[in-house]
Amino acid sequence: MFLIVGLGNPERKYEGTRHNVGFEAIDAISKKFGIEVSHKEHKGIVGKGVINGHKVMLVKPQTYMNLSGECVREMCDYYEVDPETELLVISDDVSLSTGNIRVRKKGSAGGHNGLKNIIAHTGSNVFPRIRVGVGECENGDMVSHVLGHYDAEDRERVDASMDKVIGALELFLEDNLDGAMNQFNVKEKVE
């Protein structure tokens, strides 16, 4: 069983915000592979299904971004998922240009509170992740930036990035994270 977790905030007011791009990725995966994500379990909304012959569980934590690790830890424990090889976390990244993605096997939280909380609850920063670029904060108000909505051009870029996320997910499921990094990581300055 693979646990595919998209980070975001519950409540309608957060839909379409930069911070909720992980939820959008789960929605895109759900639509592409016909996996309904509607069952409430372990502080998340989940859907179970099969992608390319692999059993998966798609998860949207409902604990709000900063407490995402509570849901992830409970799901990993209950389903005996190894975070190093069977967990994939999808989140936003303000240090990537809008619509670019970066695939990693492990790493720091990079200032992302959802990832910080997952690291705190799992006790490790060694878990695969896909970070989706939502653009840099230009006005210095990070909260307003990540909880803000895209303009029309950036919305198109993010929508187009979902195909890349799905491609990287499929390679992850085939135990080819290196291939995903080679194919989808854009070379750009990361601060």
pLDDT band at 44 (very low <50, low <70, confident <90, very high): very high
Q: Answer yes or no: is 182 a known binding residue.
A: no
CA angle 68, 170, 129 (to 5 degrees): 30
Convert the pLDDT of each residue in 3-13 to its tens digit: 999 999 998 99
Evaluate whether residue 190 is within a structural domain.
Answer: no
Evaluate whether residue 41 is within a structural domain.
Answer: yes
Is residue 115 predicted with pLDDT exceeding 50?
Answer: yes
Domain count, the chain: 1
- Mean pLDDT score, 85-98: 94
Q: What is the CATH number of the domain that holds 134?
A: 3.40.50.1470
Position 188 scores a pLDDT of 58
- Mean pLDDT score, 61-65: 95
Evaluate whether residue 123 is within a structural domain.
Answer: yes
CA angle 86, 92, 129 (to 5 degrees): 20
**Would strands 101-104 and 44-51 be described as parallel, antiparallel, or unpaired?**
unpaired
pLDDT band at 191 (very low <50, low <70, confident <90, very high): very low
Convert the pLDDT of each residue in 149-190 to its tens digit: 888 999 999 999 999 999 999 999 999 999 999 999 976 554
- Mean pLDDT score, 3-28: 95
Q: Answer yes or no: is 125 a known binding residue.
A: no
Evaluate whether residue 164 is within a structural domain.
Answer: yes
**Cα 47 from chain centroid (whole Å):** 15
* Domain, as residue range, for 101: 2-184
Evaluate whether residue 175 is within a structural domain.
Answer: yes
**pLDDT mean across residues, the chain:** 93
Active site residues: 19
Evaluate whether residue 189 is within a structural domain.
Answer: no
Q: Answer yes or no: is 20 a known binding residue.
A: no
Evaluate whether residue 191 is within a structural domain.
Answer: no
Is residue 116 predicted with pLDDT exceeding 70?
Answer: yes
Evaluate whether residue 11 is within a structural domain.
Answer: yes
Q: Answer yes or no: is 64 a known binding residue.
A: yes
Lowest-confidence range among 10-19, 20-29, 31-40? 10-19
